[in-house]
Amino acid sequence: MQRTQVLFLVKFFVILVGAYLLIAWNPVNDRVIVPFTQGIATSSGALLNAIGQQVTVSGTMITSPRFGVNINNGCNGVEAMLILLASIVAFPASMKARAAGLVLGAIAVQLLNAIRIISLYLLGAYQPRLFDLFHTAVWQIVIILAAIGFFLFWSARVAPNRVASRA
């Protein structure tokens, strides 16, 4: 393995562990992550209402007489965004490219996460036997793979620019 690859992996893991420790710290969780998750619940609830589901949102809960979901840590897309953040920050690229990758990647992860939440609510309401499978296996894998896929796409696009700028 080349030195740059080892350096990337070391940076990646240090950033990832640091980011996880930061969001696990109660003041950050309570003042940043919980309000962020409430925003996800509010927007997902609005989308569900727009398609006629007549849900109510309270904090991180989306409920109706048919079904309810509580968006907890692990279901808010933050972990996937942290993996993406650690990958992009550890990758040797310009600050401009990193900033663009972080913003676009976070948007992509959260759009996919909104689809996840809406589909999980619909599965719980109309196909409850499929809910656990999709909640614990299918969507967890899809969200993480999407974050990794975005990083691979982004890094392939910025890597030629990095090499060209050194020439």
Tokens of 107: 């948007």
Average pLDDT over residues 135-156: 95
Number of domains in the chain: 1
State residue 1's pLDDT score: 65
pLDDT band at 104 (very low <50, low <70, confident <90, very high): very high
Q: How many C-beta atoms lie closer than 10 Å to residue 150's C-beta?
A: 23
**Average pLDDT for the chain:** 93
pLDDT higher than threshold 70 for residue 71: yes
pLDDT band, residue 95 (cuts 50/70/90): very high
Largest CA distance in the chain: 63
Query: Which residues are CB-neighbours of 78 under 8 A, at least 6 positions away?
Result: 23, 33, 36, 37
In a domain, residue 167? The reply is no
Q: Give me the domain span that covers residue 95.
A: 3-162
Instruction: Give the percent of the chain with pLDDT over 70.
Output: 95
- Per the domain annotation, does 41 fall within a domain? yes
Predicted confidence (pLDDT) at residue 164 exceeds the cutoff of 70: no
